[in-house]
Amino acid sequence: MTPWDLAYGAARLALEPVSWAAPRLRASLDARRLHPPPELGAGKRAWIHGASVGEILSAGPVLDLLKSKGWEAALSCNTLTGLEAAGRAFPGVPAFAMPLDFSGRIQDAFEKLKPSLLILLELELWPQLLAEAERRNIPVLCVNARITEKSFRSYRRLSVLLGPSFRRVALWLPQGEEHAQRLKALGVAPDRLRVIPNLKALSAPPARPSWIPSGSPVLVAGSTHEGEEQAVLDAFQALPGWRLVLAPRHPQRFEAVAGLLRTRNLSFSQRSRPEAGDWRILLLDSLGELGAAYAAAELAFVGGSLAEVGGHNVLEPARLGVGVLVGPHTAHVEADVERLEASGGLLRVRDPAGLAGTLERLARDPATRRALGEAGFRASSGEGAGILKETLAGYFP
């Protein structure tokens, strides 16, 4: 038993009595119990791990590259929603819940999966996972690495404990220069760093879904948090002739948002309960379909930005030529927001009143909407797939 095992065991004992009151924690533990690693045969295989839905869906370019080189892959994540998204997006790829970082469970996972390469998406530094990969001489890559200023301060305070984990990553591919600089400040050697475009801008774009009727302009409010749906609905009142797709970030809030719509006496449809007939407001209470909804949009408000969350993926709508609006709180995606804003493909609003005014102005101005979307498309497109292929070529013999 390792010191990490003792620490994890103590933490689990402390959390177990209260996990019933923390649905996300309980769901994460249930995922690990119900979806263990599969037993796979020998072969050239990469174990790819991402935290949840967004990270898993960004794995498409990496999976495409692996396939082109004759490699197999297995996907792991921390949540049931991530597993469901993996099953829909990559049906031929085995997917399982990441085991808790106890040494015995991690060793068992390596024995079952038999990987030749471990790829971490964004930043998932589990100490015993990385130590076991090193013990087995399995290279570790951190692709699309992202480290916020808040996370940077935390990692720096814990550098004595986590320093070995950073050093065990053979190659870091951060999604922007500011992330590369933070990694350098945490002790990552410059020769192990190569900046790449955000993978979320490289995945194949979805087609317009049949479940969103054509003929009317569509506003998609994606990845919204508490309080943001209210602001969007207030703003939507000034958009006659438009449709609204409302997509809460977390599934456990679907019913609460449905309750908000009922309280406001608004007629709406739910994606989980397809009904015949037309609709003006659609509650997207499903998983993995936000990208498809963006494909039908004229404008997108990306949530977690009026609420003090730090923002979510703004590249997903921008790469589809959709004009993007965000609030002031975008620390988690600041580089992408700044790039789109500088290009003219994104507008920031200060508050709900600013959102309402900006949407009302854009609704009356198709030319400005079109220019906003075109600028965002240009800024979010590029030669990223070639850079990724060139950078990783040496790891796929």
Instruction: Check: CB of residue 389 under 8 Å from CB of residue 65.
Output: yes
Element (H, E) at 45: strand 45-49
Element (H, E) at 25: helix 23-34
d(CA 85, CA 98): 15
Please identify which residue in the block is written with the tokens 């609420």.
Answer: 307
149 catalytically annotated: no
Please identify which residue in the block is written with the tokens 């814990």.
Answer: 158
Q: How far is CA 368 from CA 73, 346, 359, in A?
A: 43, 12, 11
Write out the DSSP string of 59-125.
THHHHHHHHHTT-EEEEEESSHHHHHHHHHH-TTS-EEEPPPS-HHHHHHHHHHH--SEEEEES---
Burial of 117 (0-12, 13-18, 19+ CB in 10 A): buried
Q: Partners of 326 in the beta sheet?
A: 348
Instruction: Check: CB of residue 302 under 8 Å from CB of residue 269.
Output: no
d(CA 328, CA 308): 8
d(CA 336, CA 346): 10
Catalytic residue among 39, 55, 178, 360: 55
Active site residues: 55
